[in-house]
Amino acid sequence: MTEDKRYSGVAMLLHWLIAVAVIVNWRLAEAAEEATVRADAFAYMGNHKSLGITILVLTLLRIGWRLIHRPPPLRASMAGWEKALAKAVHVIFYVLLLGLPLGGWLAESYEGHAVNVWGLFSLPALPVGENEALSHTLAEIHGTSGKIMLLLIVLHVAGMLKHMVVDKDGNLWRMLPFGTPKA
């Protein structure tokens, strides 16, 4: 039955929402970095932080949902190395999807800053004390991890394309409500 080979509707919705949000958030960080007017950089960064915290919430929902709705097993036709690589990339995605926003929040906390989320509420600075140097190191690790994530997205999409074009196993349809995924 096709339905056993597909992710659930909720898992699909969260996957695509998070995917779009991550790409937009990367562009916001770059826009802040490249802005020549300080007020613009500040505005982009404000949106970057708000969207980052939104991604954290969506990811917690995604992981919670995954714990009670097991995803369809990877196709039996996949080679051992393919399964291991796909699983490793998925696990690292979840680690980054949690680690990037939490690391960003921690970096802000070391500056003594609360994180305003869409002007709706503020996450208080975590009680870690102020430490400018540590905040900068964390921000650097954050930026580098964000770039590593982009490389993984390229790898993830390349894997999907290899399955669709070379193996013709309908891999993409596992994450969409149409098309026919194969075993």
Task: Catalog residues that contact ligand HEM under the rule CB under 6 A.
Answer: 15, 18-19, 22-23, 25-26, 29-30, 33, 48-49, 52-53, 55, 66, 71, 74, 90, 93-94, 97, 100-101, 104-105, 107-108, 115, 139, 142-143, 146-147, 149, 153, 156-157, 160, 171-172, 174-175
In whole angstroms, how close is the CB of 121 to ligand HEM at the nearest point?
Answer: 13
d(C-alpha 31, C-alpha 47), whole Å = 11
Nearer to ligand HEM, 73 or 129 (CB): 73
Burial class (CB within 10 angstroms; exposed 0-12, middle 13-18, buried 19+) of 59 = buried
For the chain, the residue count is 183
In whole angstroms, how close is the CB of 65 to ligand HEM at the nearest point?
Answer: 9
In whole angstroms, how close is the CB of 122 to ligand HEM at the nearest point?
Answer: 11
CA distances from 133 to 73, 143, 148 (A): 45, 16, 23
Nearer to ligand HEM, 129 or 147 (CB): 147
In whole angstroms, how close is the CB of 177 to ligand HEM at the nearest point?
Answer: 12
Q: What is the rounded (10 degree) CA torsion for 32, 34, 38, 40?
A: -50
In whole angstroms, how close is the CB of 170 to ligand HEM at the nearest point?
Answer: 9
Nearer to ligand HEM, 129 or 137 (CB): 137
Nearer to ligand HEM, 147 or 162 (CB): 147
Nearer to ligand HEM, 91 or 129 (CB): 91
Across the chain, where does the E strand assignment appear? 115-117, 121-123
**Contacts of residue 2, Cβ cutoff 8 Å, sequence gap at least 6:** 180, 181
Chain centre distance of CA 44:
19
Categorise residue 9: left if φ over 0, alpha if ψ from -120 to 50, beta otherwise: alpha
